[in-house]
Structure 1
Amino acid sequence: MSHFIYLVRHGEQQDAEHGLPDGPLSARGKRQATLIADRLSGVPFTSVFHSPLQRAEDTANTITERLPGITSEPSALLFDCVPSGPGADMPAAFEPFFGSVTEAQIEAGEAQMADAIGEWMTPSLEDRHTLLITHNFVIANFVREVFSASSWRWMGINQANCGLTIIRVRTVKAPELITHNDLGHLPPELRTGLPVDQPY
């Protein structure tokens, strides 16, 4: 039997370009959330969780409107965070990112991600479908965990707003990445949140 984990990055945030730490979805973010909601409406989810930040909660509310009998629960394990500090084998090109990150932020992120992996990257005795609405770095760290990659390797793994990643956790075999950052439900003009030099 398998535990399927569906990871969705929140929709585009209103005024995100002004550096606000949190806020409601933009008009484009609402459209993104509606389209991922339509895509997921037929999945037999057993549970849904979201980051307590508003942009994730707004996305979760839009999705669960199309999931009869399912509500989304906030979880601090899905907060936006820095999942780890730099590693000895990390390319120097990533070092500037950590210039403004404190040791306390790194320690908190490591602890949060260890708990999140322990909570959800678990097999099931019967097929189970869990939806997590969260943030770019958090999803990247789940993907890193699938491959047991170096702790810093979440860096460079990017998800668009309302992109879909699916992980299958099995009882005996290693976890499997089913799909990563699938954007098939979004037209090109709604594919936001990726680095500007990355083709969509």
Structure 2
Amino acid sequence: MATRHLYVVRHGMADAFGELTDAGRQQSALLAERLAALPIDAVWHSPLPRAVRSAQIVGERLGDVPVREAPELVDHVPYVPADVPPPWAGFFDGYDRAEAEAEARLADALLARFARPASAETHEVLVTHAFQVAWLVRHALDAPPVRWLGLSCGNTALTAITYPDGASPTLLTYNDMAHLPTALRWTGFSPGVRP
């Protein structure tokens, strides 16, 4: 039975201009060290610079693994609820319905391309953004679309999902930061208490 193994990660820490910081480059290198023991077939990345550079760093350390762009991985809002939960009202304030529909199509394309079994056993890394990680996790758990809200992830935190042929997806790990030292964990989150 062929299984697609996805290792989904948010890009490394970036500055306000979308370029990786020193911490983001270090996070990406440590992620690559963790992934090096796996039989990775491809590294896919969003077209945005912070994801491109993170994927390049991972790819450089994995050897002959192809590193390619996947436009479906671009940062976007995958789903805008008709009844926005009050804590999210400011986030969605003024959100254009046409824009929401266009981004929903991107979210559907992301699932159609990656959230399914492959014709052969594959191990793929997806370097993307927090919302896309949340959308893939929500889908794997067969949760309602609104549940992507609040599923945050740290920079280069590892989420692993398998898609076996003939069975439901399995979420193996979510937001795993074991490869990062304490000082590099929790980037990408709002300030607050951390365990």
Task: Compute the TM-score of the two structures, normalised by the length of structure 2.
Answer: 0.93
Counterpart AA for 1:115 = A
Match of 2:8 in 1: 7
Per-residue CA deviations over 1:74-130 (Å, capped at 9, x if unaligned) read: 111010000011244x53222221014322331121101101101111113432111
* Contact 2:29–2:61 (CA under 8 A) maintained in structure 1: no
Match of 1:60 in 2: 55
Counterpart AA for 1:97 = F
Q: Displacement, 1:198?
A: 5.4
Which of 180-189 and 43-52 deviates more?
43-52
Q: Displacement, 1:140?
A: 0.4
**Any stretches of 5+ residues in structure 1 without a counterpart?**
none
- Number of aligned residues: 193
Q: Displacement, 1:165?
A: 0.3
Counterpart AA for 1:138 = Q
Kindly indicate whether residue 105 of structure 2 is the aligned counterpart of residue 104 of structure 1: no
Match of 2:85 in 1: 91
Match of 2:120 in 1: 126
Aligned partner of 2:130 among 133, 136, 145 = 136
Identity across aligned pairs (percent)?
Answer: 34
Match of 2:24 in 1: 29
Per-residue CA deviations over 1:32-76 (Å, capped at 9, x if unaligned) read: 111101111121112221001100011001000111211211111
* Contact 1:167–1:179 (CA under 8 A) maintained in structure 2: yes
Runs of 4+ in 1 over 6 A off after TM superposition: none
Q: Secondary structure at the match of 2:90?
A: helix
Aligned partner of 2:171 among 177, 188, 198 = 177
Structure 1 residues 198 and 51, CA, compared in 2 at 3 Å: closer, same or farther?
farther
